[in-house]
Structure 1
Amino acid sequence: MLVSAAVCPCPPLLVPEVAAGAAPELDAARAACAEALGVLAAARPDRLVVVGTADGPGREAYPEGATGSFRGFGVAAEVVLGARAESGATGPATDPERGATGGLPVSLAVGAWLLEQVCWAAAPVSGLGVGETSGTQECVTAGREIAAVSDRVALLVMGDASACRTVKAPGYLDERAAGFDTEAARLLAAADVPGLLALDAGLARELRAAGRAPWQVLAGAAGGAGLAGELLYEDAPYGVGYLVAVWS
């Protein structure tokens, strides 16, 4: 059963090495993410699942100890998902040639970095990557499966809102982006499961809102859990919507 969730953005620039400096404009986002992880730990989960967008279609699971790096962004920074893997571990999650971050997709690598910053030790950790094109029902199914894994499951949900807030944004300016982000922030603040499930996947793709699928996995996991939400951070540095919220 889902007992708590944290929603965080996943720009690699959260990692100071990638940002080639502290990137102080993201200090408030980093602080909000740390606060959200504190809420997860306080819920005393017996399992934490980090959910984010995958590099390809469909779903892919990553075990505790899966590794990633930010070599694809020009730095040698490496991360490990939870405890370090046993020596000799194999599989896609530890393949150093897989993707821009090594084994983990970018979103999960950033999630692993956030967990390292707070020295996460509250519960075992695993990861799930979901394709950005995954349909709502596929996301709901994934969420329900996660919630059924243990009696006290927590989620760290990694995903950005739109990338079209300004002319300098990765997706250029789209007048629909601000409204989409405002609605997403409202739904996450209210822990509105039906509202999240009603998000338009096509519009989210057009606005390059990578968080849509992970948010809908959260909605699938939270059905019937009766959680309340709180928005901790909302801003759009670099023209990309970043949201931090907690459900508990």
Structure 2
Amino acid sequence: MIARLAVLPYPPLLVPDLTVRSDSRLEHLRGACLRAVTSVTESATEWVAVGVDGFRAGVYGPRSGGTFAGYGVPVPVSLEHGVPTEPGLPLPGLIAGWFREQAGAARVTVHVLDADAGEDEIARLAHRVVAGPAVGVLVLSEGSRRRNERSPRPPHPDAAAVDARLAAALATADTNALHGLEPSILSDVGVDTVPALRFLATAADASGHDWRPELLYDDTPFGISYHVALWSPSDD
């Protein structure tokens, strides 16, 4: 059962210790993310997070942990309060663990999907989460990486339009629109988290809830588009 759902980006720059100086755009992004995860914790302190990593797909349980040493500073995180016994997390897991600590959640289990995860695998995970105990759900996903000259990939003429469609779907909890985003088009504009978006739409549909959505952030501050959204059951 999904108690509340948040869609969040997962750049390492969200972690204050990894940034050199204060930046108002970064503070705005970080504030939106913290508002979303704090709201999730108000409904459920047990979380499930879903992200994408083409090299380290798998399930990372609450005893997992790691550090941001690979991103410049060895900031430790864990998926459950206490000392982790299974070190080593991919970036989606590290950010989910950091969010857990900031919001005071008890624990988070992180499902990291392969970039080529199929619809059947995504649907099985979505229905398993919906059928289980009440949890807060974090969907770790980012928008286009081809928006402008600051982007890590060359600009694409369709990137802004695709980001706008994605933001509109998140702002209105339009799962049909999310299902309708063609993977090939998303790939063309550098959206690398298609399986997470598919999970979001499938799990939201399977939950049986009518959703009350809020789009808390929609911008491309550093060349990559980020969206932060919070979906709450309409009867919550």
TM-score scaled to structure 2, two decimals?
A: 0.89
2:41 is matched with 41
Of stretches 1-10 and 219-228 in structure 1, the one that deviates more from structure 2 is 219-228
Q: Choose the corresponding residue for 2:183, options 201, 215, 224.
A: 201
Does residue 1:129 correspond to 2:127, yes or no? Answer: no
Of stretches 132-141 and 183-192 in structure 1, the one that deviates more from structure 2 is 132-141
Distance 1:46 1:144, change over 3 A: farther
- C-alpha distance in structure 1 between counterparts of 2:77 and 2:53, whole Å: 17
TM-superposition CA deviations, 1:95-143 (whole Å, max 9, x none): 4xxxxxxx2111221121122223334xx32111011222344323221
Tell me how far 1:13 sits from its aligned partner.
Answer: 1.1
The residue type equivalent to 1:176 in the other structure is D
Distance 1:164 1:22, change over 3 A: same
1:247 is matched with 231
The residue type equivalent to 2:216 in the other structure is L
Tell me how far 1:219 sits from its aligned partner.
Answer: 1.6
Q: Which runs of 4+ in 1 moved over 6 A?
A: none
- C-alpha distance in structure 1 between counterparts of 2:63 and 2:81, whole Å: 5
Does residue 1:74 correspond to 2:72, yes or no? Answer: yes
Specify every segment of 5 or more residues in structure 1 that has no aligned partner in the other structure, as ranges: 96-102
Q: Choose the corresponding residue for 1:236, options 207, 220, 225.
A: 220
CA contact (8 A) 2:169 2:178 kept: yes
- C-alpha distance in structure 2 between counterparts of 1:111 and 1:234, whole Å: 20
Structure 2 SS opposite 1:238: coil
- C-alpha distance in structure 2 between counterparts of 1:207 and 1:140, whole Å: 25
- C-alpha distance in structure 2 between counterparts of 1:170 and 1:145, whole Å: 35
Tell me how far 1:85 sits from its aligned partner.
Answer: 4.6
- C-alpha distance in structure 1 between counterparts of 2:211 and 2:137, whole Å: 12
- C-alpha distance in structure 1 between counterparts of 2:201 and 2:159, whole Å: 22
Provide the aligned C-alpha RMSD in A. 1.9
Tell me how far 1:55 sits from its aligned partner.
Answer: 4.1
- C-alpha distance in structure 2 between counterparts of 1:54 and 1:146, whole Å: 20
- C-alpha distance in structure 2 between counterparts of 1:246 and 1:141, whole Å: 23
TM-score scaled to structure 1, two decimals?
A: 0.85
Does residue 1:116 correspond to 2:101, yes or no? Answer: yes
